[in-house]
Structure 1
Amino acid sequence: MNTQTSPSPQFYLTAPAPCPYLPGEKERKVFTHLVGPRATEMNDLLTQGGFRRSQNIAYRPACESCRACISVRILANEFTPGRSFRRVLAVNRDIVATAFPAQPSSEQFSLFRRYLDHRHQSGGMSDMTALDYAIMVEDTHVQTRIIEYRVRAPGDGLKGKPKGELVAVALSDFMSDGLSMVYSFFNPAMEKRSLGTLMVLDHVNRAKALGLPHVYLGYWVKGSDKMGYKIRFQPQEHLLSQGWQRYTSSEASED
């Protein structure tokens, strides 16, 4: 397959495969390569058009009979945490979040394996090795950062890299109009901390601080437990046939 850069991206279609979200459905994806000097520009445009990035590939669903996958982005500037989100922030006030260049570490991989073994034992990533993880992090031609979340240790915040226990990690693209959460994982034993929620809230705050309007969460599939959390972060927009549309739901967490 030709991966050389050209004036216009070349798109390809995958063969049908079992859907990981809806039983009995088949999924297909359209994809292109994100390489060369225009990779950052293309990643921005494609993400705004409903694509997701995995390594140097941008893809989106192209299923023949199903349109259940909906691209979701949070309206960061309008977001105000409700009481349940404020509780998550309070519980995690001892967490230090630091963004670094997209470089893997053995400490990250150890946490990644622990997360997969607990949450995704039968998923497509379940057999990933340290090399696979390194490729997932490093194989990017766009502005990607890895954000580490650590329990505050004595001296953290004074100088140098935080030294506390690593409890969560987010791999994120920094784009012209927002942050795109490519992949995140956390210590599954710390359920009471709601670390997945914390990372999304942190990305909203980072987007606000950078003057960026959006946080892209990828796809939401109604009826899929794996995707249910995304609908809680409102206000948000969904990408529909007529473009990005504001979405509201009683499932938003304002309790």
Structure 2
Amino acid sequence: MASMSASSIELRLFQSTPHPCGYWPLRTARDLVIDPDDPRLEKLYPHGLGWGFRRSGNLLYRPQCPDCQACVPVRIDCERFVPNRSQRRCLKRNADLRWQIIYAQRSDEQLALYQRYLAARHPGGGMDKHTAADYDRFLLGDWSQTRFMEIRGPDHAGNDALLAVAVTDVTVAGLSAVYTYYDPRSQARALGTYAILQQLQWARSRQLPHLYLGYWIAGHAKMAYKRGFSALQAYDGQHWTPLPDDRQAPQSA
């Protein structure tokens, strides 16, 4: 346990025990966690985003691995963002979809889609066995202002269906894209990219400055899509600065 003073805010911080890295299977990771019993967590959350923290369930954490600094917090400056040609094609391709923002409460339909997604994207990794209780522990928070962006439209068979859910936290600092899952049979739609584009539109409609995307890792295939968004900023531990095209995140020793 350690204390931290950031912008005159006193915090109690805990370091997790070593656990398997969720990004590099052969590596071990550790996290820095803000005291989960702190009654100020909802008010601290916008500050935490600005310090590179992320929410998982009721925890605010950021990676703190002794031999690796590969995880770089990133966010999009909503006002400066301009979609590129590929993203404009994504919007056009998905013009037949509709989306709505609802309160974060799990439904059977959402859980079924989530389990199909994990079975296709994370086979044999443990997440593919997630139950309803695991869903709630991972995506929902007792103190966070969490919303679900439900995306609906024709599925691979032409039936109207729930195609994607973007789990999103709303704060005064911006929106935080917690997790997005989608129908793996609709992969050609690039629903992950589409969800970010709609979250950006949502943030702009509320005049929120940033969309937080979690962590980017140079050289990691599953993180490469984040580099495709303009006005991307990275946090170096002290400041948020534009992430130029030739930026390389630090790699483990």
Give the TM-score, by structure 2 length. Answer: 0.87
In the alignment, the residues of structure 2 paired with residue 20 and residue 242 of structure 1 have an alpha-carbon distance, to the nearest angstrom, of 25
Contact 1:137–1:171 (Cα < 8 Å) also in 2: yes
In the alignment, the residues of structure 1 paired with residue 16 and residue 40 of structure 2 have an alpha-carbon distance, to the nearest angstrom, of 24
1:130 paired residue among 117, 129, 132: 132
Contact 1:235–1:248 (Cα < 8 Å) also in 2: no
Amino acid corresponding to residue 30 of structure 1 in structure 2? L
Q: 225-234 or 138-147: which moved more?
A: 138-147
2:62 paired residue among 60, 63, 88: 60
Q: 174-183 or 131-140: which moved more?
A: 131-140
Q: 98-107 or 9-18: which moved more?
A: 9-18
Counterpart of 1:26? 28
Provide, for residues 4-35 of structure 1, a one-character-per-residue CA deviation record: whole Å limited to 9, x for no partner: xxx95432111222323235432110112456
RMSD, aligned CA: 2.2
In the alignment, the residues of structure 1 paired with residue 126 and residue 49 of structure 2 have an alpha-carbon distance, to the nearest angstrom, of 23
Contact 1:34–1:43 (Cα < 8 Å) also in 2: no
Counterpart of 1:233? 229
Counterpart of 1:160? none
2:85 paired residue among 83, 86, 91: 83
Amino acid corresponding to residue 125 of structure 1 in structure 2? M
Counterpart of 1:13? 15
Counterpart of 1:181? 177
Say how many residue pairs are matched.
236
When residues 17 and 137 of structure 1 are mapped into structure 2, their CA distance, relative to the original with a 3 A threshold, is closer
Task: Tell whether 2:174 aligns with 1:172.
Answer: no
2:190 paired residue among 194, 202, 205: 194
Amino acid corresponding to residue 12 of structure 1 in structure 2? F
Q: Which runs of 5+ in 2 are unaligned?
A: 1-8, 248-253
When residues 34 and 233 of structure 1 are mapped into structure 2, their CA distance, relative to the original with a 3 A threshold, is farther
Contact 2:101–2:148 (Cα < 8 Å) also in 1: yes
Q: What is the DSSP-based 3-state SS (H/G/I as helix, E as strand, rest coil) of the residue aligned with 2:47? A: helix
Task: Tell whether 2:38 aligns with 1:42.
Answer: no
2:149 paired residue among 140, 147, 150: 147
Contact 1:35–1:56 (Cα < 8 Å) also in 2: no
In the alignment, the residues of structure 2 paired with residue 10 and residue 126 of structure 1 have an alpha-carbon distance, to the nearest angstrom, of 34
In the alignment, the residues of structure 2 paired with residue 138 and residue 222 of structure 1 have an alpha-carbon distance, to the nearest angstrom, of 29
1:223 paired residue among 196, 216, 219: 219
Amino acid corresponding to residue 41 of structure 1 in structure 2? K
Contact 2:139–2:178 (Cα < 8 Å) also in 1: no
Q: 122-131 or 213-222: which moved more?
A: 122-131
Q: Which runs of 4+ in 1 moved over 4 A?
A: 33-37
Counterpart of 2:3? none
Q: 221-230 or 193-202: which moved more?
A: 221-230
Q: Which runs of 5+ in 1 are unaligned?
A: 1-6, 153-162
Task: Tell whether 2:245 aligns with 1:243.
Answer: no
Q: CA deviation at 1:143?
A: 1.0
Amino acid corresponding to residue 242 of structure 2 in structure 1? R
Q: What is the DSSP-based 3-state SS (H/G/I as helix, E as strand, rest coil) of the residue aligned with 1:46? A: helix
Amino acid corresponding to residue 71 of structure 1 in structure 2? P
Give the TM-score, by structure 1 length. Answer: 0.86
How much identity, in percent, do the aligned residues show? Answer: 38
Q: CA deviation at 1:199?
A: 0.3
In the alignment, the residues of structure 1 paired with residue 201 and residue 235 of structure 2 have an alpha-carbon distance, to the nearest angstrom, of 23
Amino acid corresponding to residue 227 of structure 2 in structure 1? I
When residues 24 and 165 of structure 1 are mapped into structure 2, their CA distance, relative to the original with a 3 A threshold, is closer
In the alignment, the residues of structure 2 paired with residue 70 and residue 168 of structure 1 have an alpha-carbon distance, to the nearest angstrom, of 26
Provide, for residues 100-122 of structure 1, a one-character-per-residue CA deviation record: whole Å limited to 9, x for no partner: 11100000000000000000113
Q: CA deviation at 1:132?
A: 1.8
1:115 paired residue among 108, 114, 117: 117
Provide, for residues 28-64 of structure 1, a one-character-per-residue CA deviation record: whole Å limited to 9, x for no partner: 1011245675222111111110001011100101110
